[in-house]
Structure 1
Amino acid sequence: MSQNLGLRLCLVVLLCLSGCNAFNGGSTETASITPAGVPTDDPNATRGLAPGLTNHGVVDSIALGDAHEAVLSNTSFTIHGKTTVKYSNGTLRRQGERTARVVNPRDRRYINVSIYTQNKIRSDQKSTNNSFWSNGERVLVALSSSQTNSTTYQHFESRDPQYPILKYHPQKERYYTLFQAVDTKVINHTTNNGTTLYRLTSTEIADSAQLIEYSMNVKIAQNPRNLTFHAVIDSRGVVHEYRLAYTATLTETNPSTSVRVVSTTRYTKMGSTTVDRPSWYAKANNTTPEPPTTYS
């Protein structure tokens, strides 16, 4: 099972980077918001706009995260995520992309994860593309690697196999950390189909350690700076999208090197997402089921 152990470690690293990752890269669809000023001299400026959110920004990240998960746990949704880490000269160090389609009950899902990393030994690149499908009773897996130029398949007669990414949605705990790490403020709002959307922004880091923990390995980076952050949150507490970017110092290199970290997440098709069988369903379903996973 050494290949499976390596994949699990790779996925854990992706979870630290993502943020399924999320994402303004590629074909990001930004929510349409018509600016409407949020007056700072309003005598009701501390009134709750959404769970954990006031005109001053996010004041209770736990309440917001809980509300976000409570809404999405009762509907279907698609999440798009992307995280990139680039050196100051623009060279890509690492990139992770994640797309997940989840249907209530949340055991029905189809997740695709792509990881690109720079090979430090041979100074080239390697990439993996892994897909996970579940109907709530079994999980099928397709694992592709650029190094072997091949795809292998796995079959689990269980809704809870060894892959931690299958438990990664809709990630309320990550919003606990994110909104403790940045000091946000509300800059405008609009109403769309009866739902009020608030746009938040930030250039202030509230907790450097939390910020690094959220998006990178705390052992290899420090001194986050030059932060830009934007988010869209609705009146129920759902974080529709966000974009987080900052510069940090990578300490595992000699000498230390600056990197730019960009992490985005976007939720779409809430209430209308479907999960169909993937094109590789038969190949994975015909493999011998993997033995049950035990956890110590």
Structure 2
Amino acid sequence: MRRALVALLVVLAGCSALAPGTDRPTVTPAPVPTDSPLPPGVEPDGVADASALANAHAAALGNRSYTLVTNRTVRAANGSLRSALTVRLALSAAPARDYHARVSVEGPGAPLVIGEPPTRAEYWANDEVYLRRQTIDNRTEYSRYDDTDAYVGTWSFWLGTVALDLGPETDLRSTLEGFETRVADRSPEGDRVHIVGTTVRSEGFVGDSTVDNVENATLHAFVAGSGFVSSYHVVYDATVDGERVRVRRSVGFERVGATTVDRPTWYDEAMERG
């Protein structure tokens, strides 16, 4: 879970860094067609079964390749950046699950998952070698491991601990369950549904024990007819260390079934210098 990031710093620091979210547009409710099927777990007035929708989303991803892009940004009331964490994870199809992760952290309150911010890093691995390239103070460092048992930066770590809460299914379910939702818009064919949540039922979507007093929270999710959720976005006000902040988090899935994990341009240099 995301709460485990700081604890894992000590493990990762020796072997080895995320971009601000974006606002979602104000939505004017549109008439919702009633003559085409809705995604699993969704009814005309909103999400009725978050688990059913999350299960369908996970099934759509299955063992296929995809690229996951997440970011979480926290800004003070005056607009100054407290923290930003961005992960872009390209994941090949099972069973190989080669991956290429690009991670960056920025701001004084950013998680220390890859070191003191600001810093950025890339991680590439197949079943034979694990490579890291990290930029710190305009200095680039490389690491190389030829035994996959020698490092903790597996694809499941980046997916289920850093980027998401345990994985796509759990993260989506906990986010949806945090809101009372409605269908804001829907294509006539039923192949794209825009779900909006503005009333908070629980704060499980926050995923950070240091955050208190959540207010003005909004959820936007974009769902295909199959139940695949291409992206979802949460914005809310909260208190962190006694200071009022604005938190924005977004999750998006791209190139499902079409993602390739090729050797990075810095592969040869990492193999030589790592």
**Normalization by structure 1: what TM-score?**
0.72
Moved more, 264-273 or 223-232: 264-273
| Partner amino acid, structure 2, of 1:228 | T
What's the offset of the Cα at 1:175?
1.2
| Structure 2 counterpart of 1:49 | 38
| Structure 1 counterpart of 2:227 | 237
Matched, 1:38 2:32: yes
Matched, 1:6 2:9: yes
| Structure 2 counterpart of 1:102 | 91
Matched, 1:135 2:126: yes
Alpha-carbon distance in 2 for matches of 1:160, 1:72: 29
| Structure 2 counterpart of 1:173 | 170
| Structure 1 counterpart of 2:105 | 115
Of the candidates 72, 75, 89, which is equivalent to residue 83 of structure 1?
72
Alpha-carbon distance in 1 for matches of 2:68, 2:200: 26
Matched, 1:269 2:255: yes
What's the offset of the Cα at 1:159?
7.4
| Structure 2 counterpart of 1:197 | 192
SS in 1 for 2:218: strand
Alpha-carbon distance in 1 for matches of 2:223, 2:46: 11
Alpha carbons of 1:190 and 1:36: their partners in 2 closer, same or farther (altered >3 Å)? farther
Unaligned runs of 5+ in 2: 1-6, 111-115
Of the candidates 45, 59, 73, which is equivalent to residue 70 of structure 1?
59
Q: CA RMSD in A?
A: 3.3
| Partner amino acid, structure 1, of 2:9 | G
Contact 2:194 2:222 in 1 (8 A): yes
Of the candidates 152, 166, 171, which is equivalent to residue 162 of structure 1?
152
Contact 2:87 2:103 in 1 (8 A): yes
| Structure 2 counterpart of 1:292 | none
Alpha carbons of 1:6 and 1:235: their partners in 2 closer, same or farther (altered >3 Å)? same
| Partner amino acid, structure 2, of 1:131 | E
What's the offset of the Cα at 1:200?
0.6
| Partner amino acid, structure 2, of 1:257 | E
Identity %: 24
Alpha carbons of 1:119 and 1:260: their partners in 2 closer, same or farther (altered >3 Å)? closer
**Normalization by structure 2: what TM-score?**
0.78
SS in 2 for 1:211: coil
Alpha-carbon distance in 2 for matches of 1:166, 1:156: 19
Deviation >6 Å, runs of 4+: none
Alpha carbons of 1:68 and 1:5: their partners in 2 closer, same or farther (altered >3 Å)? closer
Alpha-carbon distance in 2 for matches of 1:98, 1:36: 33
Question: What are the Cα deviations for residues 107-137 of structure 1, in whole angstroms up to 9, with x where unaligned?
Answer: 12211011112179xxxx9312121112244
- Mapping 1:237-256, distance limit 5 Å: 237-250=227-240, 252=241, 256=242
